[in-house]
Amino acid sequence: MVKGFRGGWSASDLQVGTYFISQGTVSTPTASSAAGTYSAAQTVTLSSSSVGALIRYTLDSSEPTASSPLFTAPILVDGTATLKAKAFLSGWTPSSTLSAAYTINLTNTAAPVSFSLPAGIYTTQKTVTLTTSTSGATIHYTTDGDEPTTSDPSVSSRGTVSITRSQVLKAMAVKSGMTDSPVRRADYRITGAVSAAYSHALGLKTDGTVLSWGVNTTNALGRTTGGGGQSPAAVTNLSDPSTSKVVAISTGGMSGVATSFAVKADTDKTLWGWGSGTNGKLGDGVTTGQSTPTQVLKGPSPGTALTGVVAVSAGVQHTLALTSSGDVWAWGSRTSGALGDGSTSTYTAYAQQVSGLTGIVAVSAGNQHSLALKSDGTLYSWGANASGQLGDGTTTQRTAPCPGAPPVCVAVPNLSRITAIAAGHTHTLALESDGTGSSVLWAWGNNTGGKLGDGRRPIG
């Protein structure tokens, strides 16, 4: 920022300039299949010679950006399309754009089947829509890993298949006068989920039912009958799995201030909490506790429902929520700046958006510090830092992840491709991809009891 002064003259206007010092330019990605015309679908692998670079791509001729889909597995090009790809690396100038136009003429072979849900690990039962661009084709499928034949169950294009447990889905498109399409495969794992706090725990069954067990002094078990339980029992008045399943859970807090949360898969993707209301940590606009689920609201008073929620993280004194638009919301105690609104004063009993954060894919709340992971692998942290749990090389608390006006986000340095995060009481863990299919686990902050391990432990 620059301002000019001269005796007897009025001071000049303030001039502000932002400078980016690049360490170089990332290498342009290359594709395993050259642009051209093919008689069969192409499986294209993208690569960059710049170590640690993230490759983003599009298939609609648009220019890739830092929020475009991340290349993590070979791309199936089964129709005419223009693939564009660009490589990004923190501190470097993005690469030039790779552009490759493909024309796929499937005149004698039915087009491959597409799945609406990527292969992966999920906590609840899922429905997968099967599609093919071959008009009039029938899709045959199996869910036991066997190769599909025309004797197996079938659906028309845009038909659905229910995945109720860990299953391998295989499908092919068949049409008279054409060769059967290639077989498409996806491995799905339906695992349910668990979340543990100081003295109680939650479990999410694959059918969307939420169970609780442990100490119930603040009604964090969500049971109208009261009392604790050594055996899991269903949370009361939460949802009917046949109409509105729970898809995510989180519980946090210590004895006397414990809370629990659940995200419903209803039309609005709402968030519900129960247990201690100390410091407004339930987000329902009050500080009284709740023995049955109550809806989280966003401020200001009187508050409207917080919707579009896809994930929640309950800390000891505050709570974070992530929406489908990549925004972060926070409520509860402002101690040490954990809510990221620049303040350390009192609390808020309503959810409020954390300014400046976009494209976030995961959040985690500790005791008095918060984490947010962006889609490009960048990690942001704010709140308490007495033990260095923010990972910024200092022990100074940070009251916002994105200081300044307009906000300028400050990322945790020396980490470039984070894939998972966890905030402990006063320490932090992050899983970083090394670009070869393995990962490295990093830890920092308080090391009482040796909970940091060796700070860098290869896994996978």
Q: pLDDT 10s per residue in the chain (460 long)?
A: 667 777 777 777 767 665 545 578 999 999 999 999 887 778 899 999 988 889 999 998 899 998 889 998 889 887 789 999 999 988 889 999 999 999 887 667 788 999 998 888 787 778 899 999 888 999 999 998 899 999 999 999 999 998 878 889 999 999 987 889 999 999 888 877 899 998 999 999 888 889 999 998 889 999 766 566 778 998 988 866 556 788 899 999 987 889 999 999 878 889 999 999 999 999 999 999 999 999 999 988 888 999 999 899 999 999 999 998 899 999 999 999 999 999 999 999 999 999 999 988 899 999 999 999 998 889 999 999 999 999 999 999 999 999 988 899 999 988 878 888 999 999 999 988 776 666 788 999 999 888 898 754 444 3
Rg over CA atoms, the chain: 25
- Name residue 147's amino acid: E
Q: What confidence score (pLDDT) does residue 107 get?
A: 60
The helix (H) or strand (E) run that includes residue 101 is: strand 98-104
Q: What confidence score (pLDDT) does residue 161 get?
A: 93
Nearest 5°: the CA angle 362, 367, 372 is: 20
Q: What confidence score (pLDDT) does residue 53 get?
A: 87
The two tokens of residue 403 are 């200081």
Cα 335 to Cα 339: distance, rounded to the nearest angstrom? 8
Domain at 193-459: CATH architecture: 7 Propeller (2.130)
Dihedral of CA 294/299/301/305: which sign?
Answer: negative
Q: What confidence score (pLDDT) does residue 64 get?
A: 93
Q: What confidence score (pLDDT) does residue 320 get?
A: 98
Question: From residue 10, how far is each of 5, 16, 81, 171, 422 by CA, in Å?
Answer: 7, 18, 60, 75, 53
Q: What confidence score (pLDDT) does residue 457 get?
A: 46
What is the number of residues in the chain? 460
The SS3 call for residue 379 is strand
